Amino acid sequence: MDKPITDNQAWLTIKQAANYLGVSYRSMRYAIQLKKEEKANVAFRLKKFGRRTLVNRNSLDTINEIIIRL
């Protein structure tokens, strides 16, 4: 299980971001892949931390919906 999200945490793991939005881990992975391919979810802000991909929490607050397939 992933660490709980703290109030001042700006960057979330994929699992934390999925829990934050109330979607499955797999859906979040699909959404991030579409962002990386520049096909959808352009509001996401991502960064690499080693092998992990992190999602900016503020960018999740600004979206109305995530797209998981085209």
d(CA 31, CA 59): 13
pLDDT averaged over 10-residue windows placed end to end, the chain, 70 residues: 85 95 96 95 95 96 91
d(CA 26, CA 7): 25
What does pTM read for this prediction? 0.89
Residue 55 and residue 2 in contact, taking contact as beta carbons nearer than 8 Å? no
Residue 32 and residue 14 in contact, taking contact as beta carbons nearer than 8 Å? yes
- pLDDT at position 26 is 97
- pLDDT at position 37 is 95
Residue 27 and residue 70 in contact, taking contact as beta carbons nearer than 8 Å? no
- pLDDT at position 3 is 82
